[in-house]
Amino acid sequence: MASWIDQFKGLARLPEELRGRLVSDSRVVRVPKGTVIFGPGKAPENLLLLLDGVVRVQQVSETGREIILYRVHALESCVLTTACLLAYEDYQAEGVAETDVQAVAIPKAVFEEMMAGSSDFRRFVFQAYSRRITDLFTVIEEVAFKRVDLRLAKKLSEMTGAAATVKKTHGELASELGTAREVVSRQLQEFQRRGWIALHRGSIEVTDRDGLEAFSRL
């Protein structure tokens, strides 16, 4: 288990005594795909450092509408968990294992002790925190100020990668963009009319990537 700590540059610089404490008092956990790891009204018990997999952090409204705030990938931590641990507050959003996940769980008591006693650990936590806060403000700016059609075109271009097909439903794309499914459906139909995509059941085929990307840059 001692090898996990060396995967995180900030923790690898800790004195041997503190490294040993982290290893001995933390545990590696495995969470299957689809598991709700945390949710609104629950207090965080651990700081999770992802070793493998992806956790999707999303906000769900009273009407059931979802917006994906960010994703936590391998060698990252969750900014919402960090904020709740520091402020002694409950979660206001939920985290879902988008894939099978392997992570290190650092108990709250150990987290607090390390934050109080180690400047290197504090630096590690706050550097990760600041990066995520910047990403979150980018999401807020896009949802609040940028046109949905441009954001949708950009999202489709990003999702296709080397492939030509995006295996997402209209509802899933709406959650990615923080808008309504009906809005996404209308925009996709317009993209199909322009010849950029072809709509299929449960997937979207990008037929003119250059046109889609050019539009997304307007």
| pLDDT mean values, one per 10 residues, the chain (218 residues) | 80 89 94 96 96 94 81 94 96 96 97 94 92 83 88 91 85 90 94 95 92 91
Decide: pTM greater than 0.75. yes
Q: What sign does the dihedral 88-36-59-148 (CA atoms) show?
A: positive
Query: pLDDT digit string (tens) for 75-131?
Result: 999 999 999 999 999 999 999 999 999 999 999 999 999 999 999 999 999 998 988
- CB within 8 A of 95, min separation 6: which ones? 36, 37, 38, 39, 55, 56, 57, 58, 72, 78, 80, 81
Dihedral (Cα; 78, 48, 65, 202), 10-degree rounding: 100
| CA–CA separation, 60 and 92 (whole Å) | 9
Q: What pLDDT does residue 87 have? A: 95
pLDDT at residue number 2: 52
Which of 112, 6, 94, 87 has its CA nearest to residue 49?
A: 6
